Amino acid sequence: MKVPQIDERTRIINAAGLILGRMASVVAKRLLNGEKIIIINAEKAVISGDRHMIFGQHHDYLEIGHPRKGPHHPRRPDRIVRRAIRGMLPYKQPRGREAFRRLRVYMGVPAELRDKPLETIPEADVSKLRGQYITVLELSRHLQG
């Protein structure tokens, strides 16, 4: 696994215990401002809502398209997180594509990033939720099996 060069404009965000949508909106804004962002522990991000409701929504989402022709829907946790962030960027404009290229998402913690300083996003913390939630890993396992 190749990790990009880390400089002063690169931020490493630990997604463990962060709400996916809130994290994605903050990350998208920072990417548009020119930061390089690496997200680790993508499988530990959470999605708020009832388990069966979330599974049902994603099942309906997967029904759209054709298996060979597309659109192809992400099922791996890191790809689900990347797609959530892409949805909050103006991806069809050049600045949105450039911003998306500055994003890297990993499951777990790559060996090259173990001793680097990590950030979190306080406004996206799971402690702000009062209701039910599932992790992206649970959703991914449901979609794959």
Domain-embedded: residue 66: yes
Counting Cβ atoms within 10 Å, is residue 85 exposed (0-12), middle (13-18) or buried (19+)?
A: buried
Domain-embedded: residue 4: no
Domain-embedded: residue 5: no
CA angle (136 as vertex; 59, 130 as ends), nearest 5: 100
With a cut of 80, say whether residue 4 has pLDDT above it: no
In this prediction, what percent of the chain has a pLDDT beyond 70?
Answer: 97
Domain-embedded: residue 113: yes
Domain-embedded: residue 1: no
Domain-embedded: residue 2: no
81 near 13, Cβ under 8 Å? no
This prediction has a pTM of: 0.91
In angstroms, the CA 69 to CA 71 distance is 7
In angstroms, the CA 42 to CA 76 distance is 10
Domain-embedded: residue 88: yes
Query: For 29-53, what is each residue's pLDDT tens digit?
Result: 999 999 999 999 999 999 999 999 9
pLDDT of residue 7: 76
- Count of the separate structural domains present in the chain: 1
More confident residue, 6 or 75: 75
Query: For 91-129, what is each residue's pLDDT tens digit?
Result: 999 999 999 999 999 999 999 999 999 999 999 999 999
- Determine the longest span between alpha carbons in the chain, in angstroms: 43
The count of other CB atoms within 10 Å of the CB of residue 16 is: 17
Q: Which of 79, 89, 83 is nearest to 25 (CA)?
A: 89
Query: For 53-97, what is each residue's pLDDT tens digit?
Result: 999 998 888 888 888 888 888 999 999 999 999 999 999 999 999
Domain-embedded: residue 79: yes
| CATH number for the domain harbouring residue 110 | 3.90.1180.10
With a cut of 70, say whether residue 2 has pLDDT above it: no
Domain limits at 43? 10-144
